[in-house]
Amino acid sequence: MSIDKDKIKHTAKLARISLDDKKIDNLSKDLSNIFKFIEKLNNANTDNVKPLSSILDTSLRSREDKVNDGNIRDQILENAPNKNEDFFIVPKVIE
């Protein structure tokens, strides 16, 4: 699949970006090469290839799903310019 200049201009218009003619030429060549490579990948025979989630032959360890605050509230509040007990004080946004 080749990408011509008209398709790039149309896509640039939809994306509301401006491209000069030199960039359009370069993009046309680059995108055509990318799509050629994708076509090669689509033609690769993967019938006897098992799907992988990892290259390691191990399963993930299960752990108990616990919710905690990390016990670092005081360290976090040290970074606050303004604080009130356990909360950040922020400027009012809506009047």
Task: Kindly report whether the global pTM for this prediction surpasses the value 0.75.
Answer: no
pLDDT at 1: 67
The number of domains in the chain is: 1
Give domain status of residue 88, yes or no: no
User: pLDDT tens for residues 7-44?
Assistant: 889 989 999 999 888 889 889 889 989 999 999 999 99
How would DSSP label each residue in the chain?
Answer: ----HHHHHHHHHHHT----HHHHHHHHHHHHHHHHHHHHHHHS--TTPPP-S-SSS-PPPP-------TT-HHHHHTT-SSEETTEE-------
Query: What would the mean pLDDT of 78-92 be, rounded to a whole number?
Result: 87
Query: What would the mean pLDDT of 46-63 be, rounded to a whole number?
Result: 82
pLDDT at 43: 92
Give domain status of residue 54, yes or no: no
Give domain status of residue 34, yes or no: yes
Give domain status of residue 83, yes or no: no
